[in-house]
Chains A and B, each alone.
Chain A
Amino acid sequence: DAKTTQPTSMDCAEGRAANLPCNHSTISGNEYVYWYRQIHSQGPQYIIHGLKNNETNEMASLIITEDRKSSTLILPHATLRDTAVYYCIVRVANDYKLSFGAGTTVTVRA
């Protein structure tokens, strides 16, 4: 599976958009980009995923660059409850497994 690189930590202001970058420069054509988050002492929560097109749902937007080598997760209006570790994961199309890296610790401040 392609590896991902994320910043170790980020601070965001409450009410502002939070932009979380992820580098996956070795991604293959059949690999999807997934985002999960884990609030302290809880199981991971699915956020969004995409292949090559930008995606949006009720939680977030996913922007994937045209060359697919990087992506950005956007939380449009960060709240204190969005404080969590955010994981960017690349998954092969026909493989069920998810490989979690270190993720980005996002702290939303009032």
Chain B
Amino acid sequence: EVVMTQSPLSLPVTLGQPASISCTSSQGLVHSDGNTYLNWFQQRPGQSPRRLLYQVSKRDSEVPDRFSGSGSGTDFTLKISRVEAEDVGVYYCMQGTDWPPITFGQGTRLEI
């Protein structure tokens, strides 16, 4: 099973400032088809998860461009260039390269 480890687990931020969340996998996430199936999700308080990024860095539709993803191999990062109030919530990384099982990180709580 691929273990996904996020850090930090809690991230206090200031409005307008950047934020960064790290996600490390216990093994490389490059699939045999050449793609890396590493996704990022946002879960606002009281809401369902929403996918922000897929295959490391591809933004889903209507996701603001202040969200970006990077990384390769076992180390990945979600960056928010300038935090806004609506970004408060919990962020999860997820790997879909080596499954079953599909595995999620523990979640990082972003708070203002």
The judgment on whether A and B are partners is no
- Interface residues in chain B, defined as those with a beta carbon under 8 Å from any beta carbon in chain A: none
